[in-house]
Structure 1
Amino acid sequence: MFTLDHIMIETDYPQKMAKEFSEIFELPYAWPFSESEDYASVGINSGKLILSLLSLNFVLERKHVLLMD
């Protein structure tokens, strides 16, 4: 049996989305917004589940995504 403890959502605006989630649902940040060459991310902590909002700043090789469709 597995436990779901982390969900990742790709968005163009991770910082804005995290702020809205945090304010609307009164949830604390799991980690603050951080940005690098390759991606930007921020985490929201809902207790037993971490919601990771991220923006990918590089072109993904779509062949991996297409295999899952």
Structure 2
Amino acid sequence: MLEDLQERVMELEIRFSHQSQLLDELNEELTDCNRRIDRLRIDNQHLREAVSTLSPALEESPDE
């Protein structure tokens, strides 16, 4: 009976270790995704500003 209990505890420790490692990996991936999202937001804002400065010039095109 004691051996069964020790085996169960060992199995739980192994599972915990794997889950802890997986959680760390997922946390790193989430952090990377958030960094990429932040960079894309900045890029998007820069593009919006560039388009808005071009927009008046496009409306005043002499070809139309």
Give the TM-score normalised by the residue count of structure 2: 0.22
Structure in which a larger fraction of residues adopt strand: 1
Structure in which a larger fraction of residues adopt helix: 2
Greater RCO structure (CA 8 Å; 6+ sep): 1
Give the TM-score normalised by the residue count of structure 1: 0.20
- Structure index of larger Rg: 2
